[in-house]
Amino acid sequence: MAKVKAAVKRKGRATTTGKARAVSVRGEGLEERQKRIREIIKILRKEYPQVKTALNYRTPFELLVATILAAQCTDERVNKVTPGLFQKYPTIESLARARQEELENDIRSTGFFRNKARNIIALSKKLVEEYQGKVPDSMEELVKLPGVARKTANIVLSSAFRKAEGIAVDTHVRRLTGRLGLSRQNDPNKIESDLMAIVPQEDWLDFNFLLVDHGRKVCQARKPLCPQCVINHLCPSFEKFARLFSGRK
């Protein structure tokens, strides 16, 4: 195996000189993994210094609805839908009174519009009837709302309330944690549990956003840009993908 050569910075991006060797996670213990994730977070924070959700919102309720709409849909598409949606339904009460078929048409372009409309109306009614028209700021209460699982609750808590009760696991986080050897699980809740055991709690708020930004810009689903990756020396998948997309066997 080729000798490791250090990554060097050029014009703010990481490149590698010669062949770089991926870190091996075979036999990696908990303390070693915790040390590696701290280094990953440190580097990603420098690379993405102003991370936040890509969803546009003004209130916790708008973020809650936007996050539900973002399931199996791009944030860009959701951001095109929500301005008109919240102009038509400016309050929780107005969405609680919305007609199912009409709301379906309002959000049709986000996909899975029937289930999304049903959940949005149901959670709006529940907020009005049981929470005095306010979005709760705890995981325990948020997951009681129709259509709200831990991922949605974590995004609302971290962005709207700056509270860390877990780590949101979306498609980007799921993909990157697998490639980085941080979890071998497929179930989002199990992945979250693995991450909570190794990610320092003070980093829970931003960890999802760091991986989302890196997943969109570098560690892409179809063709990861491994030679440009600032954490390729900490990634056990580096050599595999570097070979795959360079045409080498």
pLDDT digits over 146-170, tens only? 999 999 999 999 999 999 999 999 9
Are residues 118 and 79 part of one domain? yes
Q: Which of 106, 151, 194, 203 is catalytic?
A: 151
Q: Are 116 and 103 in contact (CB under 8 A)?
A: no
CATH label of the domain that carries residue 112: 1.10.340.30
Q: Does one domain contain both 80 and 14?
A: no
Asked if the model's pLDDT at residue 23 lies above 90, the reply is no
The domain boundary residue, chosen from 116, 134, 152:
134
31 within domain boundaries: yes
State whether 45 and 88 are in the same domain.
no
Give the residue among 170, 182, 174 at the shortest CA–CA distance from 236. Answer: 182
Q: Does residue 14 form part of some domain?
A: yes
Domain match, 71 and 33 both: no
Phi/psi class of residue 112: alpha, beta or left (left: φ > 0; alpha: ψ in -120 to 50)? left
In this structure, are residues 131 and 145 in contact, taking their beta carbons and an 8 Å threshold? no
* Contact assessment for residue 207 and residue 41, using Cβ atoms and an 8 Å cutoff: yes
Per-residue pLDDT reduced to its tens digit, 184-225: 999 999 999 999 999 999 999 999 999 999 999 999 999 999
Tell me which of 170, 203, 206, 213 is the catalytic residue: 170
190 is catalytic: no
Q: pTM, whole model, 2 decimals?
A: 0.84
Q: Is 125 a catalytic residue?
A: no
Q: What is the pLDDT of residues 64-89, one digit of tens each?
A: 999 999 999 999 999 999 999 999 99
Residue at 46 is within a domain: yes
Residue 13: per-residue pLDDT:
44
Has residue 158 been placed in a domain?
Answer: no
Total domains in the fold of the chain = 2
Domain that holds residue 176: 7-51+167-246
pLDDT at 21: 54
Whether residues 47 and 69 fall in one domain: no
Length of the chain counted residue by residue: 249
Give the CATH number of the domain where residue 226 resides: 1.10.1670.10
Residue 24 has pLDDT above 80, yes or no: no
> Are both 40 and 72 inside the same structural domain?
no
Q: Could you tell me if 238 and 214 lie in one domain? A: yes
Within a domain: 143: no
- Specify if 95 maps to a domain: yes
Residue 12, pLDDT above cutoff 70: no
Say if 184 falls within a structural domain.
yes
